[in-house]
Amino acid sequence: MQGADGTTTEGAGHEDALQPERTADGSWTLQSTRFGQAYHSRHGALTESMHVFIGAGFMHRATGPDHPGTLRVLELGLGTGLNALLTLRTWREMQASRRPDIEYTALEPHPVPLSTLAALDPAGDASVRPEDAAAIHARQGEPRHDVDWGPGGRFTRWAMDWQTFAGRDHQAFDLIYFDAFSPDSQPELWTEARFAEAFRLLAPRGVLVTYCAKGNVRRAMEAQGFSVEKLPGPPGKREMLRATRPVPEEVLPKRFNVRVYFLLIAGASDATLAQGAAGLDPEDKVLVSDEVIAGRNCTKWPGGGLEFGEGPRECALREAREELGQDIVLGPLVHATGAFVRSAWRPEEQVLCHYYLARLDEPPGFPITEVPFSADAPVAQTFRWVRIKDFDGSALTFATDREAWATVRGPR
Ligand SMILES: C[S@@+](CC[C@H](N)C(=O)[O-])C[C@H]1O[C@@H](n2cnc3c(N)ncnc32)[C@H](O)[C@@H]1O
CATH of the domain at 187: 3.40.50.150
Residue 296 pLDDT: 82
Each residue's pLDDT tens digit, 347-362: 889 999 999 999 999 9
Gap from CA of 326 to ligand 1 centroid (Å):
53
Each residue's pLDDT tens digit, 317-328: 999 999 999 999
Residues 272 and 237 in one domain: no
- Protein residue with least CA distance to atom 18, ligand 1: 161
Gap from CA of 204 to ligand 1 centroid (Å):
25
**For a substitution probing ligand 1, which of 105, 108, 128, 185 has the most ligand atoms within 8 Å of its CB?**
108
Residues 6 or more apart in contact with residue 245 via CB below 8 angstroms: 199, 202, 203, 204, 205, 206, 207, 225, 226
Gap from CA of 78 to ligand 1 centroid (Å):
6
Q: How many CB atoms lie within 10 A of CB 347?
A: 19
Q: Evaluate if residue 367 carries a pLDDT over 90.
A: no
Residues 145 and 230 in one domain: yes
Residues 200 and 296 in one domain: no
Q: Is the CB of 110 under 6 A from ligand 1?
A: yes
The DSSP secondary structure of 278-335, one letter per residue, reads: GG--TTSEEEEEEEEETTEEEEE-SEEEPPTT--HHHHHHHHHHHHHSS-EEEEEEEE
Of 219, 248, 277, the position where a domain reaches its end is: 248
Residues 230 and 368 in one domain: no
* Nearest-atom index, ligand 1, CA of 122: 9
Residues 275 and 244 in one domain: no
Residues 221 and 162 in one domain: yes
In a domain, 214, yes or no: yes
- Protein residue with least CA distance to atom 22, ligand 1: 77
Mean pLDDT of the region 79-95: 97
More confident: 6 or 100: 100
HEC string for 166-229: HCCCCCCEEEEEECCCCCCCCHHHCCHHHHHHHHHHEEEEEEEEECCCCHHHHHHHHHCCCEEE
- Which of 56, 90, 22, 74 minimizes the C-alpha distance to 234? 56
Q: Evaluate if residue 13 carries a pLDDT over 50.
A: no
Each residue's pLDDT tens digit, 227-280: 999 999 999 999 999 999 999 888 889 899 999 999 999 989 999 999 999 999
Measure the CA–CA gap between 411 and 220, rounded to whole angstroms.
48
- 157-171, 197-211, 257-271: lowest mean pLDDT where? 157-171
Q: Evaluate if residue 14 carries a pLDDT over 60.
A: no
Each residue's pLDDT tens digit, 39-52: 999 999 999 999 99
Residue 94 pLDDT: 96
In a domain, 343, yes or no: yes
Gap from CA of 167 to ligand 1 centroid (Å):
18
Mean pLDDT of the region 279-283: 92
Of 222, 248, 274, the position where a domain reaches its end is: 248
Gap from CA of 310 to ligand 1 centroid (Å):
49
Domain hosting residue 133, numbered range: 18-248
Residue 376 pLDDT: 61
**For a substitution probing ligand 1, which of 42, 74, 162 has the most ligand atoms within 8 Å of its CB?**
162
- Protein residue with least CA distance to atom 4, ligand 1: 79
Q: How far is CA 233 from CA 47, 144, 220, 241, in A?
A: 11, 33, 19, 8
CATH of the domain at 342: 3.90.79.10
Gap from CA of 79 to ligand 1 centroid (Å):
5
**Percent share of the chain, pLDDT over 90:** 83
Residues 131 and 214 in one domain: yes
Confidence of residue 3 (pLDDT cuts 50, 70, 90): very low
Residue 377 pLDDT: 54
- Given a contact cutoff of 8 angstroms between Cβ atoms, the answer to whether 281 and 315 are in contact is no
In a domain, 167, yes or no: yes
Gap from CA of 197 to ligand 1 centroid (Å):
17
* Sign of the dihedral through C-alpha 43, 46, 51, 56: positive
- Protein residue with least CA distance to atom 13, ligand 1: 77
Each residue's pLDDT tens digit, 374-395: 766 556 789 999 999 999 999 9
Measure the CA–CA gap between 352 and 342, rounded to whole angstroms.
9
pTM: 0.73
In a domain, 198, yes or no: yes
Residues 268 and 295 in one domain: yes
Average pLDDT, the chain: 92
Our count of domains for the chain comes to 2
Confidence of residue 7 (pLDDT cuts 50, 70, 90): very low
Confidence of residue 5 (pLDDT cuts 50, 70, 90): very low
Q: Is the CB of 162 under 6 A from ligand 1?
A: yes
